[in-house]
Amino acid sequence: MNAAQIHLALNHAPLFLSVIGGGILLLGMFRKNDSYVSLSLYFLIAAALFTVPVFQTGEGTEELVEKAAGVNENAIEAHENMAKTALVVIMITGALALAAVLFRKSVSIRRLLLPATLLLSLASFVTMAQTAHLGGLIRHTELQTNAQAGTDAVEKEKDNKEKKEENEGKKDLSADSSMQKKAGTVSEKDDDD
């Protein structure tokens, strides 16, 4: 299994674990149900843990796909930057969830930790969703706006034009070189006569 396979296999886990964990936490706090609250905290801890291998395999995945046809290189950079933000947010959420599990007997500490964890679980979901969206733009042109697709098309057309001109320049040089060789051969024959 290479980095891209691991990245693609795990990349949606933190997104769904954070939204499910946040939803169950909200329900548990509303109903004052400790079982729901505990379950939600484990979901949020798992979301943070799953984020680590997803983030770690991102660079290897970039190296594998950045030169492939149809890949939007601008989206790779945007995805990477957003992933760094999402990693920080979800790791803080996971740390608060872990603290809430460890201090489950202390009502006063949990009273502070649970609302903060709930708020950060929402922030985790939002940042992970944006990261996932930007990741989709890397390869899925149907997700790109017309402006993005148009800009990328113009850039590719410009690159193709430059390559074509470069190739034509090489052809012209080789044609000039061939003509010079022929001229040299003709002048040698004239000298022989």
Report the pLDDT value the prediction gives residue 72, as an integer from 0 to 100: 74
The per-residue pLDDT for range 136-178, each reduced to its tens digit, is 888 766 666 654 554 555 566 666 667 666 766 666 656 566 6
Helix (H, G, I), strand (E, B) or coil at 157: helix
Q: Specify the pLDDT at position 147.
A: 45
pLDDT means per 10 residues, the chain with 193 residues, are 81 92 96 95 96 89 77 84 95 97 92 95 94 83 56 60 68 60 56 55
Which pLDDT value is given to residue 44? Answer: 97
Helix (H) or strand (E) holding 175: helix 146-192
DSSP string for residues in 46-62: HHHHHHHHHHHTHHHHH
- Please choose, from the candidates 15, 163, 59, 78, the residue with its C-alpha nearest in 3D space to the C-alpha of residue 171: 163
Task: Output the pLDDT for position 5.
Answer: 81
Work out the angle at residue 179's Cα, subtended by the Cα atoms of residues 173 and 184, and round it to the nearest 5 degrees. 125
pTM, two decimals, is 0.70
Tokens of 136: 């989709």
